[in-house]
Amino acid sequence: MTLQGTIAAGHTATADAAAAMLEAGGNAFDAVVAAGFASAVCEPGFTSLAGGGFLLARTADGRDRLIDFFVDTPGRGRPDGAPEPVFEEVSVRFAAADQAFHCGPGSVAVPGTLAGYLHIHHTLGRLPLAAVVAPAAQLATGGVAVSDNQAHDFALLAPILERTEASRAIFFPDGQLLGAGDVLHNADLGTFLLALGDAPTATFYTGDLAHRFVDQLAAGGGLMTLEDLAAYRVIERVPLRFGYRGRTVLTNPPPTFGGALLGVALRRLDRHGTLPPAGTPELACLLATVMADVDADRRAGHPEVTAALRGDLGDDPNARPVVTRGTTHVTVADGEGNVAAMTTSNGECSGDVIVGTGI
């Protein structure tokens, strides 16, 4: 039996979509894109095709690249005197505290996820796009059981998910919020994915759907413009690289700051010398302390952390800091030596659904 690859994902159906690509002769990048499309169906509390993300890639021939398809700031070409954006404040009840979020049309950024998936597929994949989107389209049309994690997230996001009629149709199909074990259907998303597989240019970045998307948001007080969508570009960056205990670590470079903070944390762990054994409470406490200290130092402007956010961890002197974060992750390593690690996010979502797409 030939080892085809290793997959880690946030939902069984996401992992299954990736596995189907490897079994069909695809590589890690076909698999991670298929997983991404599937996660938009089965992990909609965490990610969607209108969110943003990052892919860290190591190809079988030893090339490293970071593909940045995070969201962009909207508002290009808005005329002077245009109406102020509309935000709707909702309260999300976490275990420790209630937190106010501002959602609705004014909160919608320029999407990057769909453009990112298409870029990864075009530059690194080898299977037809129709095959790559097929598992996600089947999940959307046939339905997928809501996992415990997604049910918990839906409950947190309920005040946002019930904002619009289109969102309620997906998440409150019978007037009740979907819970663990209930089946989520998104036929419009299934139809969109099948059309995309046949025509990769059939996106919401140009054409009739772009006009409908912008008009929909503008009617509710959004900032998005046709110029925003047409101008969106996926960016390829050199990964941030640093050493740790005889290994080379590759991660997301500035302008994000997660990778830089990881570098500082590992540097500080190195100063501890011999670490407690793996799996012990002592190691868990040490890791928690180091991570908390690094984050506190970031907020306080500690010189070591500030330098790292400028890219001063090894090889990127031109980097600049901007905050981002992700909420679901897929990693695929295939038998050829390709490795793909991808994080995508919706933020807390807006409660808006792009008309006719289920996105």
* Catalytic residue ranges: 327
d(CA 72, CA 191): 26
d(CA 78, CA 75): 6
DSSP H helical ranges for 92-147: 113-124, 129-142
Tell me how crowded residue 99 is: count the other CB atoms within 10 A of its CB.
Answer: 12
d(CA 335, CA 21): 13
Phi, psi of 56 (to 5 degrees): -100, 125
Q: Mind giving me the DSSP string for 274-318?
A: SPPPTT-HHHHHHHHHHHHHHHHHHHHT-HHHHHHHTTTTTT-TT
Q: List strand residue ranges (DSSP E) for 172-244, in order.
A: 183-184, 235-237, 240-244
d(CA 125, CA 132): 9
> Residue 106 has what DSSP assignment?
G
